[in-house]
Amino acid sequence: NAGVTQTPKFQVLKTGQSMTLQCAQDMNHEYMSWYRQDPGMGLRLIHYSVGAGITDQGEVPNGYNVSRSTTEDFPLRLLSAAPSQTSVYFCATGGQGVRGAPLHFGNGTRLTVT
Amino acid sequence: AQSVTQLGSHVSVSEGALVLLRCNYSSSVPPYLFWYVQYPNQGLQLLLKYTSAATLVKGINGFEAEFKKSETSFHLTKPSAHMSDAAEYFCAVRLDTGRRALTFGSGTRLQVQP
């Protein structure tokens, strides 16, 4: 049981390049989300999805796009990378139907934009 | 809106000493509260959660936390620190909404001295 799988683990981009961070889950969770982690700031929500075909913005959505065509996958796209997007990105999924159900996190993608 | 404050970005204790990591929250409605631990180069792992069932919550690895509504606190404790407890700890709050987003504190890095 893989849980939440993120690829790649590391990525270096030049300013202006585009890329997609992948997130896949095998827990049949309807809720999926993306966070970025920066030193001294905890984790901040970028985008989230409550099911296939439904996405919404979080706290820091600018510069990122998402789509949700299947329950299993929730890719995060950077259309034109900027140095301010250097960060560690985490995908998190959550169960439904249980009050207070926690989020389950992937191991992260460390992105550097030069 | 909700927010989380973690007092002390770095805490250092001796092996065998009490661990106390502080977390205060603000929320307009009763929240769900979580503590996550992050080991180097890994994702976040759930330590424990408060979902209104009991004010004293026991988690994994000997950690526990007490929900104090009057103080709006959810401090994390462990009676005797172990070297393997060295990690970064995050407190998070979530409201009972469909968004299921977590609001994180800025994190506390725990160092355990031999």
How high is the mean pLDDT of chain B?
Answer: 91
Residues of chain A found within 8 Å of residue B90, distances taken between Cβ atoms: 42-43
**The pLDDT of residue A44:** 94
**The pLDDT of residue B97:** 64
Quick count: other Cβ atoms within 10 Å of Cβ B102?
27
Tens-place pLDDT, residues B39-79: 988 899 999 999 877 889 999 999 999 999 889 999 999 99
What's the pLDDT band for B3 if we cut at 50, 70, 90?
confident
Using a CB–CB cutoff of 8 Å, tell me whether A42 touches chain B.
yes
**The pLDDT of residue B66:** 94
Using a CB–CB cutoff of 8 Å, tell me whether A34 touches chain B.
no
Is the Cβ pair A40, B106 closer than 8 Å? yes
Residues of chain A found within 8 Å of residue B44, distances taken between Cβ atoms: 43, 90, 92, 105
At A14, list the tokens.
């030049």
Is the Cβ pair A43, B51 closer than 8 Å? no
**Residues in contact with A73: Cβ distance below 8 Å, sequence separation at least 6, in sequence order:** A22, A23, A24
Tens-place pLDDT, residues A81-106: 999 999 999 999 986 666 677 889 99
Tens-place pLDDT, residues A33-51: 999 999 888 899 999 998 9
**The pLDDT of residue B99:** 65
Q: How far is Cα B6 from Cα B81, in angstroms, rounded to an integer?
A: 19
Name the CA radius of gyration of chain B, rounded: 14
At B45, list the tokens.
């792992």
> What 3 state SS string does chain A have?
CCCEEEECCEEEECCCCCEEEEEEECCCCCEEEEEEECCCCCEEEEEEEEECCEEEECCCCCCEEECCCCCCECCEEECCCCHHHCEEEEEEEECCCCCCCCEEECCCEEEEEC
Is the Cβ pair B44, A58 closer than 8 Å? no
Chain B interface residues facing chain A, Cβ-Cβ under 8 Å?
4, 9, 32, 34, 36, 41-46, 49-52, 90, 94, 96, 98-102, 104-107
Is the Cβ pair B99, A56 closer than 8 Å? yes
Q: Nearest 5°: phi and psi at B70?
A: -65, -30
- Of the candidates B9, B46, B99, the beta carbon closest to that of A40 is on B9
Among left, alpha and beta (phi > 0; psi -120 to 50; other), residue B112 is beta
Q: What amino acid occupies position A109? A: T
Using a CB–CB cutoff of 8 Å, tell me whether A27 touches chain B.
no
